[in-house]
Amino acid sequence: MSDAHDAVEVISAKRDKHELSDSQIDWVIDAYTRGAVADEQMSSLAMAILLNGMNRREVARWTNAMIASGERMDFSTLSRPTADKHSTGGVGDKITLPLAPLVAACGVAVPQLSGRGLGHTGGTLDKLESIPGWRALLSNEEMFAQLESVAAVICAAGDGLAPADKKLYALRDVTGTVEAIPLIASSIMSKKIAEGTGALVLDVKVGTGAFMKHLDAARELAETMVALGQDAGVHTVALLTDMSTPLGLTAGNAIEVQESVDVLAGGGPADVVELTLALAREMLAGAGRGDVDPADKLADGSAMDVWKQMIRAQGGDPDAALPVARESHVVTAPSSGVLTRLDAMAVGLAAWRLGAGRARKEDPVQAGAGVVWHARPGDTVTEGAPLLTLLTDDEHRFQRALDSLAGGYDIEPAGTSFEAGPILIDRVG
């Protein structure tokens, strides 16, 4: 591509609230990926986008330019239709683990490219790596073969997909531009569209433990991503779901795997089951298999069968004992009554400080670390009874975890009327 533009011209245009032309967008993404636009220049442009926004055409073009920076996958030769899910991240959000084998059991292939955790949000790959022998890195050939034989794969995205996004993602992290909705939407959707799935369901989290704290911002992000998917010819819908309270009863790596297995065995916490089934139904409808009820596949054990095949196909032992943390600390209820609030961010930070997450992407994580809660909002609790159990290999981590839980829950007197809000807030698309 010829250097028809220069970085200062593009930065100035967005600084002055102008629309960027298609050729400006194509040029700047290509030049940045090649190293011809410097990090400080792209930082400046990212800040201008954060402050002044982009319209639908600009965001679509930006996303396409990021896709064009790398390879595109094509699953059209598979014997089944494909569907994928992306969550914007939350606390206790282990939904991908039971969801992928469940949808596969219903006859739809699930090419689930997942990531690692950063900060208080857990990463799907970190959770699965607590299973002895399981590996996240597959070649494209291995991924295709597994999709044909097992119909479900959860693995790391290869370096070939949207390399521009990888560079830009790292830059946004250190320049205060993570929150720019056009950049969040194009980051997520460039990878998902390049991945080549036929249908996509977005789980956009809203609340204290989510990236989007407020409903209006979450809805704007959902609408932007759904439009990008539709413009690219991918059947895309988004569910806005609550992340004020953490999902299920666990936040960590091995303990979330165990909870996922409980769901696949026909049990598990009601909220995890509800959200898994809601997302499964959307994925199946998008892939043209809306006639299948995923609840039947949880009940008859076929989703569990696919889970075991999927884990074995990636070198894991689905029957092996999961790692257990060396140290535990029980937090007891300070009074009797009704638990009316358990803050997702407080729990997420505690799990992170116990070693379940990482501060920098190169940090290791502990497989056994995390938080188990013994009551959910609406449950009756008794003074002195266990409320939370903290797990870690390093007991010096307990105090900082306890600090992050201070003020993170409310217990009201017995008889206080309490009704938990819905998990499913809205649907876009």
Which residues are catalytic, by number?
A: 86, 165, 172, 187, 191
Amino acid at 269: P
Query: How far apart are alpha carbons 80 and 414 in whole angstroms?
Result: 53
Tokens of 311: 């884990």
Sequence letter at residue 348: G
Q: Nearest 5°: CA angle at 393, between 267 and 247? A: 30
Phi, psi values for residue 167, rounded to 5°: -65, -45
Cα three-residue angle 140-142-143, rounded to 5 degrees: 60
Question: What is the side-by-side strand order in the sheet with 250-252?
Answer: 250-252, 370-373, 386-392, 327-332
Assigned token pair, 71: 């390879």
Burial class (CB in 10 A: 0-12, 13-18, 19+), 4: exposed
> Could you say which DSSP state residue 396 is in?
G
Is there a contact between 394 and 355 (Cβ–Cβ < 8 Å)?
Answer: yes
Rg over CA atoms, the chain:
22
* C-beta separation of 143 from 110 below 8 A: no
Residues 6+ apart with CB under 8 A from 362: none
On the 0-12 / 13-18 / 19+ scale of CB atoms within 10 A, 270 is exposed
Distance CA 51, CA 84 (A): 32
Pick left, alpha or beta for residue 248 (phi over 0 → left; psi -120 to 50 → alpha; otherwise beta): left
Please state, in angstroms and rounded to a whole number, the distance separating the CA atoms of residues 134 and 310. 10
